[in-house]
Structure 1
Amino acid sequence: MSEREVVITGTGLTTPVGKNSVENWQSLKTLKTGIANNRSDDLPEFLHYTGKVTRFDLPQDIPPKQQGQMKFLNRGATLGFCAAHEAVSSVKSFIGDIQPGRRALYVASGDHTKIGYDFMYPAIRDSVDSRWDNLDQRKLNESALNKVNPFFLLESLNNNLFSFLSAVIEFMGPNTSLASLSPCGGNALELAYRSIKLNNADVALAVGYGNWITEIPLYELEGLGILSKCRHGAASYRPFDRNRDGFIPGEGGAAIFLEAADSAEKRGADILGKLKGFGNCIEFSPSHKMGVSERVTKNNIASLLKETGTRIHDLSFIIPHGSGTRKGDSSELRSLTEIFSDENNDVPLCGLKPYTGHMGAASDITEIIFGMYAVKEKMVPATLNYEEAEKEFSHLRISGSPQVCNNDTFLSVSYGVGGQSSSVIVEVK
């Protein structure tokens, strides 16, 4: 049985720069960032800068049976649900003709909304003495029954959105819920793609969401030494720049709806892009505990180019992961230098996370959506806040401002803690 081509016919975005895909793209075109000083008296100054979603529209057409379950969705899951709803809204009538068992669903969560025990504070306060030295277990149990939300455990489950979405939109075919950091959003999209390509499903939805802006995740990320000190305020997130010093976290949701190309063409669907293929490589190296070795990223991209028959010059641009950390960006740029070694290095590179902040699994999918809009408008997006690279990378064409592109494909790369690098090539006609 021949493998099927897979196309994108729906997208959804809920991020700090917009409550839908069009708003997000308009923000990117006008070089608008969603990173701002979201002041908190409990945090040091440099942790006040985050990418926070300030506007989103909750869907109003949730079936009555599921409306009561909305209270179990934490903030990150809610943003993911909004994005998923947008992605399927334009194809609802078509989905109704597909058997639920042929609808695949893959949800990736890098969400830390409920990390912490602040929900227990009222009961703990009732159970201790004035110096907080001794805790009365009996008082704690009695107070917890009245003052602690009994659904706190459900709200903390990373597969909560997965089960809710499956019930609301009745996607009951191949499925799974992924819980990790980047690149699990890209992994979810690859699984969705392969479910259709191998004829295990006719349509598929890939969702990524994340919230990294609550207190404990912020302190944990800072403890790892990968956050920016925000010496330049909201403009401190600057991938590939010689003065970069880490990333700024954000929150958001992103979703992509897929279907078989022949089906989409037959029904006259608006095809936004075609997934040409995915690459994946993983290797744990003690010297790269917090990132990915140069060899892994190079092998990942090289194998993808070979598998899809794509030449480096076929690409309009490359969207690297662009974490903004000293070591991470250097490793990634060295990998790309090796990829370019036998070619002219005139393919633009653009880092897109400074628009929204790093949203974990949501960023992986968001950047693919941004890339499709950019190719459609023949534009290479700008890397916000980029001024100049180190001398070692001065030969690379890093896009510091919007540029014109003429080709119809792009490459997007994501990687994460643990040594995994994932990439995808998308064609936009």
Structure 2
Amino acid sequence: MELKRVVVTGLGALTPIGNTKDEYWNGLISGKSGAAPITYFDAEKFKTKFACELKNFNPTDFLDRKEARKMDRFTQYAMVASDEAIADAKLDLDTINKLRVGVIWGAGIGGLETFQDEVLNFAAGDGSPRFNPFFIPKMIADIAPGNISIKNGFMGPNYTTVSACASSANAMIDALNYIRLGHCDVVVTGGSEAAVTIAGMGGFNAMHALSTRNESPETASRPFDATRDGFVLGEGAGAIILEEYEHAKARGAKIYAELVGGGMSSDAHHMTAPHPDGIGVMAVMRNCLENAGLKPEDVDHINTHGTSTPLGDVAELKAITEVFGEHAKTININSTKSMTGHLLGAAGAIEAIASILAMENGIVPPTINHEVVDEKIDPELNLTLNKAQKREVKVAMSNTFGFGGHNACVLFRKLD
């Protein structure tokens, strides 16, 4: 069968460097860091005392107070970002066939704060099982797309993909395939995460995964720098409206880009560490190119997973060099996590948005905080260090990899 084309018609972003897609983009190209001391709880006794929290965000500015109280923060973030994306796409909710509109969302953890608080409250009590009646529906990872569909009446496929930090990229790939195969006209996709909590920070600290650069939080996320010492935890949401091309054309929608392919693979190596030879990462990029019907030399820009970990950054760049050969030296490579921190299950969504906006604006956001050259990294690679670079981007790739060895990759192309 002939596969249908899939395009991007709406974007929404709620990030540590901007609470709308436009604020987010301005933060990216200006090289703004979202890292700062934690304000959500007293982190004095934690090894890491900082994170990339949202700034000046009040859920009741967007949601009814009673409804907001029934939602964990990761769902609140999903509602806000998806509302922006739906409005940006100018979807007419009165005329669209809602039976053919799906919501496929990514979340690596879900309602971590809700789970944490309910357990802490129980432990502090007299042993009586007094739990919030909304405990379970606030916590479960699939509740975010459920709430999006309930609010808007979307009755197509509705679920959450959970693959750690690859979750929202997996959601986009599923959405791509549902539309390609003719099962949906529109899918609201993306991801959200709210893991800047006592349990989240404590757990990642226990793994020695986080930077402990407490004396200078704003420079702690430093992908590709020789002095990098771990990732910086972030939070927020990214939402993307994917739409069948003819459906979008028929209603006169603005088209940002075409989603031309997605790839998936597994490292099959270790719970948390990447394969040192980047075998799974090479496979996922090759799978993505094949799925899109593109060649390595077609790619202009790669937004890497680039978490700022000693092992991961080197393995990913080695894999890029292996897959793209000499062409790798002509690609604008970057890591926007240097600014946003790592949004876990939402990372793929906000980084795909960054790639789409780079294509639209002809500017590749920088990898900030680079000071010391890592001798393990090819010096001829253009890592877009410290300043944004003007560049016509016709094809952009976005990589995301998760604990458990989950790898996902998406490719966007500028529409002719």
Equivalent positions of 1:366-381 (< 5 A) are 366-381=350-365
The one-letter code of the counterpart of 1:384 is I
Asked if structure 2 preserves the Cα contact closer than 8 Å seen for 1:103 and 1:173, the reply is yes
State the distance in 1 between where 2:140 and 2:12 align.
Answer: 23
Call closer, same or farther: CA 1:46–1:428 in 2, change over 3 Å. farther
Equivalent positions of 1:123-202 (< 5 A) are 124-127=123-126, 140-141=127-128, 145=130, 149-202=132-185
| Residue in 2 that maps onto 1:207 | 190
- Output one character per residue of 1:2-60: Cα deviation in whole Å (capped at 9) or x when no partner: 21100000011111111110111111121112111125534436522101112336587
The alpha carbon displacement at 1:186 in A equals: 0.2
Could you say what the CA RMSD is over the residues aligned between the two structures, in angstroms? 2.3
- Output one character per residue of 1:279-309: Cα deviation in whole Å (capped at 9) or x when no partner: 11113114x7433450111121123223323
| Residue in 2 that maps onto 1:130 | none
| Residue in 1 that maps onto 2:395 | 409
The alpha carbon displacement at 1:385 in A equals: 0.7
The one-letter code of the counterpart of 1:44 is K
The alpha carbon displacement at 1:310 in A equals: 2.4
The alpha carbon displacement at 1:99 in A equals: 2.3
Asked if structure 2 preserves the Cα contact closer than 8 Å seen for 1:13 and 1:21, the reply is yes
Deviates more, 1:342-351 or 1:88-97: 88-97
Equivalent positions of 1:212-231 (< 5 A) are 212-231=195-214
Structure 2 residue 408 is the aligned partner of structure 1 residue 422: yes
Asked if structure 1 preserves the Cα contact closer than 8 Å seen for 2:231 and 2:341, the reply is yes
State the distance in 1 between where 2:313 and 2:175 align.
Answer: 29
TM-score by length of 2: 0.91
TM-score by length of 1: 0.88
Asked if structure 1 preserves the Cα contact closer than 8 Å seen for 2:236 and 2:346, the reply is yes
Match of 2:273 among 265, 285, 290: 290
The answer for unaligned runs of 5 or more in structure 1 is: 128-139
The one-letter code of the counterpart of 2:159 is T
| Residue in 2 that maps onto 1:319 | 303
| Residue in 2 that maps onto 1:278 | 262
| Residue in 1 that maps onto 2:382 | 397
| Residue in 1 that maps onto 2:42 | 41
The alpha carbon displacement at 1:312 in A equals: 3.0
Call closer, same or farther: CA 1:304–1:158 in 2, change over 3 Å. closer
The answer for unaligned runs of 5 or more in structure 2 is: none
The alpha carbon displacement at 1:118 in A equals: 3.6
Match of 1:262 among 228, 246, 250: 246
Call closer, same or farther: CA 1:198–1:389 in 2, change over 3 Å. farther
The alpha carbon displacement at 1:217 in A equals: 1.3
The one-letter code of the counterpart of 1:114 is E
| Residue in 1 that maps onto 2:88 | 90
| Residue in 1 that maps onto 2:316 | 332
- Output one character per residue of 1:304-341: Cα deviation in whole Å (capped at 9) or x when no partner: 22332323332221111001111111111111121233
Asked if structure 1 preserves the Cα contact closer than 8 Å seen for 2:187 and 2:242, the reply is yes
Asked if structure 2 preserves the Cα contact closer than 8 Å seen for 1:56 and 1:82, the reply is no
Call closer, same or farther: CA 1:361–1:61 in 2, change over 3 Å. closer
How many residues align? The count is: 409
The alpha carbon displacement at 1:344 in A equals: 5.7
SS at match of 2:297: helix
Asked if structure 2 preserves the Cα contact closer than 8 Å seen for 1:291 and 1:416, the reply is no
State the distance in 1 between where 2:400 and 2:121 align.
Answer: 41
The alpha carbon displacement at 1:92 in A equals: 5.2
The one-letter code of the counterpart of 2:288 is L
The alpha carbon displacement at 1:94 in A equals: 3.0
SS at match of 1:345: helix
State the distance in 2 between where 1:411 and 1:388 align.
Answer: 26
The alpha carbon displacement at 1:101 in A equals: 1.8
The alpha carbon displacement at 1:276 in A equals: 0.9
| Residue in 1 that maps onto 2:52 | 51
The alpha carbon displacement at 1:216 in A equals: 1.2
The one-letter code of the counterpart of 1:16 is P
Call closer, same or farther: CA 1:245–1:74 in 2, change over 3 Å. same
The one-letter code of the counterpart of 1:313 is E
The one-letter code of the counterpart of 1:80 is A
Call closer, same or farther: CA 1:238–1:267 in 2, change over 3 Å. same
The alpha carbon displacement at 1:272 in A equals: 0.8
The one-letter code of the counterpart of 1:395 is E
State the distance in 2 between where 1:334 and 1:93 align.
Answer: 42
SS at match of 2:380: coil
- Output one character per residue of 1:135-171: Cα deviation in whole Å (capped at 9) or x when no partner: xxxxx32xx55xx533333322222222211211111
Call closer, same or farther: CA 1:347–1:114 in 2, change over 3 Å. same
Call closer, same or farther: CA 1:22–1:292 in 2, change over 3 Å. farther
The one-letter code of the counterpart of 1:398 is L
Structure 2 residue 13 is the aligned partner of structure 1 residue 9: no
Asked if structure 2 preserves the Cα contact closer than 8 Å seen for 1:208 and 1:361, the reply is yes
The one-letter code of the counterpart of 1:417 is F
State the distance in 2 between where 1:413 and 1:54 align.
Answer: 26
